[in-house]
Structure 1
Amino acid sequence: MRIDLVLLCLAYVLSQFFRAFLAVLTQVLETDVGATPADLAFASGLWFLVFAAMQIPVGAALDRVGPRRTSALLLLIGGGGGSALFAMATTPLHITVAMGLIGVGCAPVLMASYFIFARMYPPARFATLAALMLGVGSVGNLIAAYPTAWAAETIGWRATLWVLAAISASIAVGLWALVQDPPKANGTEKGSVLDLLKIPALWLLFPLMFVNYMPAAGIRGLWIGPYLSDVFTLTTSEIGQATLVMGVAMILGTFCYGPADRIFGTRKWVIICGSVVGAVALCGLAIFTDTSALRSVLLMSVVGFCGAAFPVLIAHARSFFPAHLTGRGVTLMNLFGIGGVGVMQFGSGKIHAAIAPTDSLLAYQTLFGLMAGLILLGALIYCFSEDRMD
């Protein structure tokens, strides 16, 4: 793999880390800054929504100026600056603003690599390469689990964030120096996201793209911490171990989904089967919410494994994109995928805050049941899509 793709992968490790590390710091942030689970849900949701909103300008920038400048500048300002602001936070508002800024910094890194794959590699290999990048980058999920809990207890969460600020800035400098922009598409065609929205086939993919990553990212990125703490009284260290298990499951799911379309000769039914299994696991969490911590962790791991269809869904959509709109196309799909998580984080925080004061158990049952219903609805609409292979 080229050195610039290795650096983009490292940047994506940071992106995966930042979307998931709040779950491990739930207790210390409540103690030190007064941030409640609802505050952290809002901050996490803002990260996802800012990340999603940035996909439109990022897509245009990838097509016009290329991945080098787009990824390097945003990661330096957003990733490095946001981490530094988080390290100095004294109120929940500071955390919220910092998470929004970090969302800006993380927005281009995965799509920059997908843009390079789409422009410089055979179309039939896109899903496998995209899954490889996603899977290796998901190591950030693991670092955001037990190692982060250990770092927070050893050197403190503020020092940990300062280290992350330095790492983000260093990788950004490396991206500026080493990323190679692919040649621009042949021809003089011009277009915008509006042209992509005129493609009827994509509208049957958007709903599942919106909800597919929602349960895995929402639970792993936030709710696994408060849930295991409130229902089973697990410690920060134990929650870190649980998130580590779920993070490994998400990585394994990514690697399994990647080549599955070529193995089975279908993208559509691979995604549908995974979605149904994930919905069944969510129903299990809603029914057996307080019976066993081990069972709950295993069910959440199944949700994480099955929620890793992201690269195959993008590969399916990419088969409908005109070449000159590749950057806008992959970022449009990412907008739906990440935007869905942001909407759920905002909504789930309000649902939890409304129900938990009177019945904490019912609050989590409601969240898991809602996620299951949304996945099944998205999969039902997706059943009518055109199954297309490259």
Structure 2
Amino acid sequence: MNTHNHPDISREVGPDGLEHLYVGGRLAMRMFGIFAAAYVLSYGFRAINAVIAQPLVQELGLSAAQLGLLASAYFLSFALMQLPVGVMLDRYGPRRVEAVLIGFAALGAIIFANAESFAWLWVGRALIGVGVSACLMAAVKAYSLYFRPHLQASLSSWMLVAGSMGALTVTTPVEAALPMLGWRGVFVVAAVLCVLAGFALWFALPTLFKPQKTESVKDMAQGYGAIFRHPHFWRVAPLAMITQGGFMAFHGLWVGPWFTNVIGLTNTQAAQNMFWISATLMAGYLVLGFITRTISKRGGDEDQIMLVGMGLSLVLFALQIAQGANATLWGWLLHALLIASGIMTYATCNKPFPKKLTGRSSTALNLLIFIGAFSIQWGIGIGIDAFTKLGWSYTDGMRASLAVLWALQLASWLWYARPGRKTSHLLPA
């Protein structure tokens, strides 16, 4: 593709005095669509264990701690990939990196589908995490490179709309397909979809990014030092790690056992409830995208939306935990609507950093989010087992574990909201 004469590609001098390449029109829609489709798979893999938890436990006899460790293998491998992914995105560009990595997700899905032991299930799940580790960050990097600044917060929100569609596809639809395909057949289908996504990324997007070889890989890795030393990063990171990661851990696994073991619903009824939670989350991301775009264009502080939304989500979370078996689906729906504001942590975190570092700043934050999700998802299972060994009921054990999580989330919100939140400490381009 000749990028110099393409009607959907323009070159403009930005506020930093540097020339930037921007896409628009059909090319922008195609780029968003392909990255979003890949992210649908990533989010689907993240949430699927909540639906297949009961069949897995019945077939393999997993404990709560094993179930938590298995589901969180995705988060662990995903987290470990974030720093190398950040360097690769800034060096080789989002299209190449994501197209190659998603092949590992296909391999992991095949291994998971054929596993006969906990160990092989864990390996397959971990490989899936490796394979989809760039799906959101590659999109964030592409948008930071090729879309105008006022669109970037809203694009991040709309990516989560796509992700929520992935969560929708693994609730009621997967539950309905289980009698015919079984959980193994579902993962075979997922492997095929990963291969198709890889081909779309490689062949249907133009080569806009030229590999950056002016810096060595070692020098690029050292760029993380500037990010991890920046005070703004450490203001945002705890909120993202504990609140975003905590929601991912709960929504990706423990919301299923909450409905089946705490409320007493069937697996089918639980899947239907998870479908509506995911649909509400998707609506929250969609609305958030339009709101942040409008406020940003008017020069307002869109971070206030994140602060208020996540604060109110903590109120709802506390109420649901306190009510236990009497907690309503409406409470979880409103909680999901409010927690959608957490996606803005990515755009907020990137504000002090130049474009050449946005891949690394995004993945540095993502590393901590997924470490949080891994630790919390496994930790909830450990907590449930520990409290039940003390003679507590399963319901009270889960409520106590979630109460610990809530206290940590409240502390992280207060840390972010303290005076001096705005920063003009920008790093040079």
TM over 0.5: yes
Q: Given residue 329 of structure 1, which amino acid in structure 2 is its aligned partner?
A: S
1:7 aligns with 2:34: yes
Residue 86 of structure 1: aligned partner:
112
1:208 aligns with 2:239: yes
Structure 1 Cα separation of the partners of residues 280 and 246 of structure 2: 14
Paired residues, number: 386
Residue 73 of structure 1, aligned match among 87, 93, 100: 100
Q: After superposition, what is the alpha-carbon deviation per residue over 1:27-67, rounded to whole angstroms, capped at 9, x for unaligned?
A: 11112222333222111222112111211010100111111
Residue 311 of structure 2: aligned partner:
276
* Contact 2:91–2:212 under 8 Å retained in 1: no
Deviation at 1:187, TM superposition (A): 11
Deviation at 1:116, TM superposition (A): 0.8
Residue 376 of structure 1: aligned partner:
410
Structure 1 Cα separation of the partners of residues 179 and 173 of structure 2: 10
Residue 102 of structure 1, aligned match among 121, 125, 128: 128
1:356 aligns with 2:391: no
TM-score scaled by structure 2?
0.85
Deviation at 1:381, TM superposition (A): 0.7
Structure 2 Cα separation of the partners of residues 278 and 150 of structure 1: 31
Residue 255 of structure 1, aligned match among 286, 309, 318: 286
1:193 aligns with 2:193: no
Q: After superposition, what is the alpha-carbon deviation per residue over 1:209-258, rounded to whole angstroms, capped at 9, x for unaligned?
A: 11121332122211111122112321111111011011112112212332
- Name the Cα RMSD after superposition: 2.2
Change (3 A) 1:185 1:386: farther
Residue 180 of structure 2, aligned match among 154, 164, 172: 154
Moved more, 380-389 or 103-112: 380-389
* Contact 2:232–2:423 under 8 Å retained in 1: no
Structure 1 Cα separation of the partners of residues 344 and 236 of structure 2: 11
Q: Given residue 261 of structure 2, which amino acid in structure 1 is its aligned partner?
A: D
Deviation at 1:198, TM superposition (A): 2.2
Structure 2, unpaired ranges of 5+: 1-27
Moved more, 254-263 or 376-385: 254-263
Change (3 A) 1:167 1:187: closer
Structure 1 Cα separation of the partners of residues 141 and 409 of structure 2: 28
Residue 23 of structure 1: aligned partner:
50
Structure 2 Cα separation of the partners of residues 213 and 158 of structure 1: 29
SS at match of 1:202: helix
What is the percentage of aligned positions where both structures have the same residue?
Answer: 27
Change (3 A) 1:375 1:185: farther
Structure 2 Cα separation of the partners of residues 53 and 276 of structure 1: 29
Deviation at 1:84, TM superposition (A): 0.5
* Contact 2:109–2:190 under 8 Å retained in 1: yes
Deviation at 1:364, TM superposition (A): 1.5
Residue 288 of structure 1: aligned partner:
323
Moved more, 257-266 or 220-229: 257-266
Q: How does 1:317-332 map to 2 (within 5 A)?
A: 317-332=349-364
* Contact 1:258–1:311 under 8 Å retained in 2: no
Structure 2 Cα separation of the partners of residues 367 and 303 of structure 1: 18
TM-score scaled by structure 1?
0.93
Structure 1 Cα separation of the partners of residues 170 and 64 of structure 2: 17
Q: How does 1:215-254 map to 2 (within 5 A)?
A: 215-254=246-285
Change (3 A) 1:184 1:197: farther
Larger radius of gyration: 2
Deviation at 1:202, TM superposition (A): 1.6
Residue 40 of structure 1: aligned partner:
67
Change (3 A) 1:275 1:267: same
* Contact 1:17–1:141 under 8 Å retained in 2: yes
Moved more, 117-126 or 262-271: 262-271
Deviation at 1:339, TM superposition (A): 2.1
Change (3 A) 1:187 1:124: farther
* Contact 1:267–1:316 under 8 Å retained in 2: no
Structure 2 Cα separation of the partners of residues 212 and 34 of structure 1: 31
SS at match of 1:19: helix
Q: After superposition, what is the alpha-carbon deviation per residue over 1:267-295, rounded to whole angstroms, capped at 9, x for unaligned?
A: 33211211221111111122100125xx1
SS at match of 2:325: coil
Structure 2 Cα separation of the partners of residues 16 and 314 of structure 1: 17
Residue 112 of structure 1: aligned partner:
138
Deviation at 1:208, TM superposition (A): 0.6
Change (3 A) 1:214 1:356: farther
Q: Given residue 243 of structure 1, which amino acid in structure 2 is its aligned partner?
A: M
Change (3 A) 1:10 1:261: closer
* Contact 1:185–1:323 under 8 Å retained in 2: no
